[in-house]
Homo-oligomer: A and B are copies of this chain.
Amino acid sequence: MRIRLYNARILKKDMTITDGEVWTRDDKIEYVGAAKTSDQPFDSEYDIKGNLLMPSFKNCHTHSAMTFLRSYADDLPLQEWLFQKVFPQEAKLKGDRVYKFTKVAILEYLTSGVTAVFDMYFYPDDYVRACTEAGFRSVLCGGVCGDDKAEDLENRFVKFNAVNPLISYKLGLHSEYLSPLPLIKDVAELAKKYKAPVYMHNSETKREVEECIGRYNMTPTEVLYENGIFEYGGGGFHCNFLSDRDFEIFKEKKLWAVTNPSSNLKLSSGIAPIQRMQGEGVNIAIGTDGPASNNCLDMFREMFLVTALQKLATGDASACPAQDVLRMAAIDGARAMGLYDCDCIEEGKQADIIEIDLNQPNMQPLHNIVKNIVYSGSKQNVKMTMCAGKVLYRNGEFFVGDSPEHIYEQANEAVKELLSE
């Protein structure tokens, strides 16, 4: 399968833009450069008409199947939302429900130009089935907590890293606050055994950090570090409240801070210290968090907020420039979840590419395309989303092996059934 995308602008790894074309062969990028002729025929040729081809967005923290709780319970205090609304409904999930709810999320990711998500949730078999059927890439993140056994995490780690080229699996804890110390130590052993990074929710709220200090006289980051979790790197989701010592640990272990600004606003958690992270060289990626807390899976909203909230929090309108944010969302995000071959448009890389429609009023005039995307971009600008060399979304149409109407119908029926139980 060979596809030619010609007459394009192309965003390079250094955030500059050149004119040219991109060829793909199966799941990989075969050629990037000036217009030229091919000896072999293409299966499809798309005239990009001067629009921008760029590396797709990578959503580095989400709980995809939580689409079923989108707009089910908002505008409530955090504790009431979580304990009275979210947890009781989540307890009624089953594998086939996760499958149906994930499919809705995948459609939304595609409209937002996302081709890979770092997902922590239940029923991984059904989640993986939804992704592979759609041709959508995903990295699953373990989320053990409470009475869970590290052994089960290990079994999933081994199983899902061998299941499909589109799927990989990272070691993960839900969080320090839901993980007893023996579990943390057991997961650290797995990290050593597999020389693998470990990820978890970390320092999302001030209260979480204070309670951890109350328990251990250490921050969550310190507790995890001291118990060997970060021996081979990893990262934290949210990271709103990091101490000076936490910063040292993030730098020493080259950890990824995955920021989720919409969710942190909506649940009144706080603003992550992105400008300081940038200044100190901490690795940063971006996620939407799940659709129950956000409520949408829109990387454009997250990108705008990453920079706009830094400008607010620091009082410095020059904080966190657009090109840095776009790099986090498209390039660094791939690296954060170990997708080193999905980070940019270069020969040999995976063909995870999106077309940004510049012929929309919010992209005009064309002073600076990168700034336009970060400050003014929206889902309306995603004209095409290609994952592993397959066009999964183009001009508002989905090519995921199932119709959106059927996916919505199945999801709405499953929600109705679940809520009535």
A-side residues, CB < 8 A to B, are 67-72, 74-78, 81, 104-105, 107-108, 111, 262, 264-268, 270-271, 291, 294-298, 300-301, 304, 307-309, 311-312, 314-322, 359-362, 364-368, 371-372, 375-380, 396, 404-405, 407-408, 411-412, 415
Contact = CB atoms under 8 A, between A and B. Distances in A.
A408 B359 CA distance: 8
A360 B378 CA distance: 14
Contact of A376 (B295, B322, B377): B295
A268 B105 CA distance: 33
Contacts of A104: 361, 364-365
B304 A367 contact: no
A367 B70 contact: yes
Given A78-B317, A296-B375, A380-B379, A262 B308 contact: yes
Contacts of A322: 74-75
User: What 8 A-B pairs are tightest by C-beta distance, nearest first?
Assistant: A107-B361, A296-B376, A108-B361, A71-B371, A265-B308, A295-B375, A75-B321, A71-B368
B376 A379 contact: no
Contacts of A68: 365
B378 A412 contact: no
A109 to B, nearest CB: 8
Contacts of A81: 317
Contact of A108 (B268, B298, B362): B362
B311 A265 contact: yes
A394 B268 CA distance: 37
Contact of A411 (B76, B365, B415): B365
A111 B380 contact: yes
Given A262-B308, A372-B70, A380-B378, A316 B364 contact: no
Given A67-B364, A270-B312, A365-B411, 15 more contacts: A71-B368, A74-B368, A75-B320, A76-B317, A77-B316, A104-B361, A111-B380, A265-B309, A266-B311, A268-B312, A268-B315, A295-B372, A298-B376, A365-B415, A380-B380
Contact of A111 (B70, B72, B294, B360): B360
17 contacts: A70-B365, A76-B318, A104-B364, A111-B361, A264-B312, A265-B308, A265-B311, A266-B317, A266-B375, A267-B311, A268-B311, A268-B312, A295-B376, A296-B362, A301-B378, A365-B412, A365-B415
Given A268-B312, A312-B268, A317-B76, A364 B408 contact: yes
A404 B268 contact: no
A387 to B, nearest CB: 16
Contacts of A107: 361
A314 B317 CA distance: 23
Contacts of A312: 264-265, 268, 270-271
A117 to B, nearest CB: 14
A415 B70 contact: no
A181 B71 CA distance: 50
Contacts of A296: 362, 375-378
Contact of A77 (B265, B304, B318): B318
A298 B362 contact: yes
Contacts of A294: 375-376
